[in-house]
Chain A
Amino acid sequence: MTEELLTYHQRHYGMDHDRYEWSMLQDRAPVRWPGGKPLALWINISIQHFPLSGEKPRVAPPGALTMPYPDLRHYTLRDYGNRVGIYRLLQVMERYGASPSLAISGALVARYPQLLERLAQTPYEWLGHGWNMLSMHAGEIDPAVEAGWIAEARAALLSCSDRSITGWLSPGRIQTANTPELLVKNGFTYQCDWVNDELPYNFRTAAGEMTCLPSCLELDDVFVLTQNLHSEDSFAQQVIDAADLLINEGREQGGRLLSLNFHPWLVGQPHRIRTVREILEALLVQRSDTIWHAAPAAIIEAAKT
């Protein structure tokens, strides 16, 4: 019965699956970012809908409701992000001339048309971000159900904007075994869920190749502030330390990428927004000669050349 525990079906050169090739960052041909800058900066804002329904997600994403129905405390704290936090965050982004991408729950389109109108007026790239924060792409879901979530999320975003939508970030950066195929079939050319690299790389699916642009979890605001319980000042320090290390590496070895992910329901709070300003000041003003700040699709394009 335990023989299987000592049987190794994938013990061979390279990865133990066929999604991508094994390669070390430092061994690849150097990437050159526009202007010869050593570091590319991608800022994403995840704009999310957490339903009050009382239904339990298959896997709880960060920020999931936890209390018995009706969990007003968590529902309204998340809703705060869509009423107040996002506007505060957009103002800071605009003040610094930042170009964040916006990953948006599809359900918000019908729910908050005024919000979507405001987001449509920005020049920012949009990413699919699932239907809502209960539609978790996790475990064994009927592929037809999962395909529906992806198609509807994409259709909702396309219904209120004429921008092209090619990128996807799953709620909680979790996928099923079918997610990559379903994304390609629905017109997505890149996804950001696999955090195994610091540069975009080719990701295989049965429906054709796509790109993975890893969205760093370790510097995600929710991870640092609510899971690690670090202070806001430490969060800013960590981001700056990361930028400085990557700038040095970028000078010596080839272009590097720093990816940040902000949540309006968290850093849009009045006592935290200052930290976002400090981070943008440090990166976009003080390090403007070494940082190329761009939208994710542009970063992927630049990494190919």
Chain B
Amino acid sequence: MSAATQNAELALYDYAPYEGRPKLSWPNGARLAFWVAPNIEFYELDPPVNPHRQPWPHPYPAVPGYSIRDYGNRVGHQRQMAVLDKYGVRGSISLSAALCEHHPEIIALCAERNWEFFSHGIYNTRYTYGLTEAQEREMIEDAMDTIERAVGQRPAGYLAPALSHSNHTIDLFAEAGGIYTCDLFHDDQPTWVKTRSGRPFVSIPYSLELNDTIAYVVQKMEPRRYGEIIRRAFDQLYEEGEESGTVMCIPTHNYQVSCPHRLRAFEEALEYVTGHSDVWVTTGREIAEYTLTHCSDQIKGGEGSAT
């Protein structure tokens, strides 16, 4: 990879001001497309060393980090699933593909609820960093094949493992048959993404700001405050959605949101959001498919403008 490529500005989408965009219309006149993306991840206790990033802050065995993430799968998953069931939300799972092999019981519970599975790499302890383009393609296809074998449907979306990217990540995912990315945080509406194959491809808003791990670990929020910011975000996007459809995502982790001192705040926020009319409670895939089918022209917005 040349220095010029390393330093290239992002060219995946065109600039498009939030004011004056063509109107997006969601099904049944909904103002807002709402989706919840539970990350169901597998972190390895002893992953190979990637010189670009350390998986654990502690030496082997990193008991604190590993064990709380295992808690998420052992204890937290079903607890969160019960709350999503209660409010009629189908999860869109950001899935470490190897979890299909490690914990098929979790996959079965989600599949019987008709939840969506999108790719989040093989393990959250395996990064894109340091891979050749061919190796990254191999990893992306391995994850998609693994999930397709387990659930019978090829994933449509990608959130790169541990948010680790290369300059080819989105191109490679589109070439492997994907149609949407969760890796871009630049907007509250879907955006047309220009990949090198030119295939129809869209960015679906997946909020880092409302992500429970960012809220609890980075922002160190009190649980009830987390519930409050979700409601505030909803109020704003719901109001704006009267003009043109917006998207709101709550990305979760079963080792954060499902802790017994935190679940209530999440549940109250879900009750609030789903208690409104004109909210399209949906999945990432359905937003992507609808957008590409019905709104392609609208989201291409600034195409052709100076970049």
Contact = CB atoms under 8 A, between A and B. Distances in A.
A198 B223 contact: no
Interface residues of A, number: 58
A227 B64 CA distance: 15
A2 B260 contact: no
A239 B261 CA distance: 6
A195 B68 contact: yes
A201 to B, nearest CB: 9
A22 interface: yes
Interface in B255-284: 259-264
B73 A24 contact: yes
Nearest to B225: A234
Contacts of A111: none
Interface in B104-136: 104-106, 122-123, 126-127, 130-132, 135
Given A12-B102, A138-B58, A219 B126 contact: no
B289 interface: no
A231 B224 CA distance: 12
A27 interface: yes
Nearest to B127: A5
Contacts of A214: 67, 71
Interface in A137-189: 138-140, 172-177
Contacts of B187: none
A230 interface: yes
A155 B191 CA distance: 66
Interface stretch (B30-38, B41-49, B290-298, B299-307): B41-49
B18 interface: no
A24 B122 contact: no
Contacts of A25: 74-75, 78
Given A196-B70, A228-B220, A242-B259, A13 B138 contact: no
Given A196-B74, A242-B259, A174 B58 contact: yes
A59 B138 contact: no
Contacts of A173: 63-64
Interface residues on B, range: 35 or more
A2 B58 contact: no
Contacts of A197: 71, 74-75
B138 to A, nearest CB: 6
A230 B105 CA distance: 36
A191 to B, nearest CB: 10
Most chain A Cβ neighbours within 10 Å, of B58, B66, B130, B224:
B58
Contact of B261 (A138, A172, A218): A218
Contact of B102 (A4, A22, A23): A22
Given A174-B58, A196-B71, A242-B259, A16 B223 contact: no
Nearest to A23: B74
Interface string A217-239: 11100000001111100100111
A7 interface: yes
Given A5-B126, A24-B105, A17 B45 contact: yes
B222 interface: yes
A229 B222 CA distance: 9
A5 B130 contact: yes
Given A8-B122, A17-B46, A22-B102, A242 B261 contact: yes
B102 A196 contact: no
Contacts of B222: 228, 230-231, 234, 238
A242 B64 contact: no
B103 interface: yes
A177 to B, nearest CB: 6
Nearest to A27: B105
A298 interface: no
Contact of B44 (A16, A24, A193): A16
A29 interface: no
B224 A237 contact: yes
B98 A8 contact: yes
B59 interface: yes
Contacts of B127: 5
Given A11-B98, A23-B74, A245-B261, 20 more contacts: A5-B131, A6-B142, A8-B122, A10-B44, A11-B101, A14-B102, A24-B77, A24-B106, A59-B58, A173-B64, A193-B67, A195-B67, A195-B68, A198-B75, A218-B261, A228-B216, A228-B222, A241-B260, A245-B260, A249-B79
8 contacts: A5-B126, A10-B46, A13-B104, A15-B70, A17-B61, A139-B59, A198-B260, A241-B223
Interface of A: 2, 4-8, 10-17, 22-27, 58-59, 138-140, 172-177, 193-198, 214, 217-219, 227-231, 234, 237-239, 241-246, 249, 258
Ranked nearest first, the 7 interchain pairs of A and B with the lowest CB-CB distance are A139-B59, A242-B260, A196-B70, A238-B261, A242-B261, A196-B67, A26-B78
